[in-house]
């Protein structure tokens, strides 16, 4: 049973109990997919980070990027496997960037980097947040609320990153910033196009493998 099938079965059961309509069922199913997928992705990511000796920077990257994404939205893959691969790559690379760059950047250089990242993500959030997501039909008032919460979160992140830097944990600040910038990029039209191409490319690869397997079984 795939993640989508498990989420659909659980959503159908809960919908019958709560007497939800078809659209509410779709929203519930999508939400369950996100929750279960996040648990699986988090466990896999932290396990790999532990094996690579990057537990702390990857954990900070995951927390920073995920909090921003919950508020701001962004581009989505159409399949859990493709989403998992992309998430693992983004957060592991963010953790690696923190581990490598945190020790070589000067305090002034890191402050400029944090300011630049804050500005870039702030502009992206001001222009495009909250990003479009399946089954998320937000009215103008809720859109303004999520935009405001996203901008407030960026200020909290900046304050936390400066605190980490002053406490001698520059690698954690860089890791969090790298994940934040990656999530901010997913809000932009270019980010949506890039993730759509990645999603389509892996889908075509999987379809090709499936076709080859079917031919071999004939």
User: Between residues 146 and 33, which one has the greater pLDDT?
Assistant: 146
Residues comprising the chain, all counted: 218
The more confident residue out of 78 and 188 is 188
- Asked if the structure places residue 126 within a domain, the reply is yes
- Other CB atoms within a 10 A radius of the CB of residue 156 amount to 10
The Cα–Cα gap between 149 and 131 comes to 13
What pLDDT does 168 receive? 93
Q: What is the pLDDT of residue 22?
A: 64
- H or E stretch at 201: helix 189-217
More confident call, 79 vs 7:
79
In tens, the pLDDT along 72-106 reads: 988 888 877 888 899 999 999 999 999 999 989 99
Global confidence as pTM: 0.84
| Tens digits of residue pLDDT in 155-168 | 999 999 999 999 99
Query: Would 30 be classed as within a structural domain?
Result: no
Q: Report yes or no on 167 lying in a domain.
A: yes
Q: Is residue 31 part of a domain?
A: no
- Based on the structure, what is the number of domains in the chain? 1
Most confident of 20-29, 153-162, 204-213: 153-162
Q: What is the pLDDT of residue 125?
A: 96
Residue 80 belongs to a domain = yes
User: According to the model, what pLDDT value does residue 206 have?
Assistant: 74
b vs e for 85-95, b when ≥16 Cβ sit within 10 Å of the residue's Cβ?
ebbbebbbbbb
Q: How far apart are CA 98 and CA 209, in angstroms?
A: 36
**Low-confidence winner among 1-15, 94-108, 179-193 (lowest mean pLDDT):** 1-15
The domain containing residue 95 runs over which residues?
53-209
Is the pLDDT at 123 greater than 90? The verdict is yes
pLDDT bin (cut points 50, 70, 90) of residue 39 is: confident
Structure confidence at residue 101 (pLDDT): 93
The answer as to whether 143 is a domain residue is yes
* Measured distance CA(86)–CA(108) in Å, rounded: 32
Lowest mean pLDDT among 18-22, 111-115, 163-167: 18-22
pLDDT band at 6 (very low <50, low <70, confident <90, very high): low
39 in a domain, yes or no? no
26 domain-assigned: no
């Amino acid at each position: 049973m795939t993640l989508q099938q498990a989420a659909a079965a659980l959503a159908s059961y809960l919908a019958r109990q709560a007497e939800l309509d078809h659209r509410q069922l779709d929203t519930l199913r999508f939400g369950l997919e996100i929750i279960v997928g996040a648990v699986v992705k988090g466990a896999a990511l932290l396990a790999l980070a532990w094996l690579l000796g990057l537990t702390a920077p990857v954990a900070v990257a995951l927390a920073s990027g995920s909090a921003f994404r919950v508020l701001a939205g962004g581009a989505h893959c159409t399949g859990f496997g493709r989403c998992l691969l992309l998430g693992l790559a983004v957060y592991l690379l963010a953790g690696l960037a923190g581990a490598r760059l945190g020790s070589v950047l000067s305090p002034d250089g890191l402050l400029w980097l944090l300011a630049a990242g804050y500005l870039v993500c702030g502009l992206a959030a001001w222009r495009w947040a909250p990003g479009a997501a399946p089954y998320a039909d937000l009215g103008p008032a809720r859109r303004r609320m999520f935009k405001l919460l996203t901008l407030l979160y960026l200020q909290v992140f900046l304050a936390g990153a400066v605190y980490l830097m002053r406490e001698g944990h520059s690698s954690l600040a860089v890791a969090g910033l790298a994940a934040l910038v990656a999530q901010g990029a997913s809000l932009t039209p270019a980010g949506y196009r890039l993730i759509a191409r990645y999603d389509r490319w892996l889908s075509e690869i999987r379809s090709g493998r499936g076709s080859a397997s079917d031919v071999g079984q004939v």
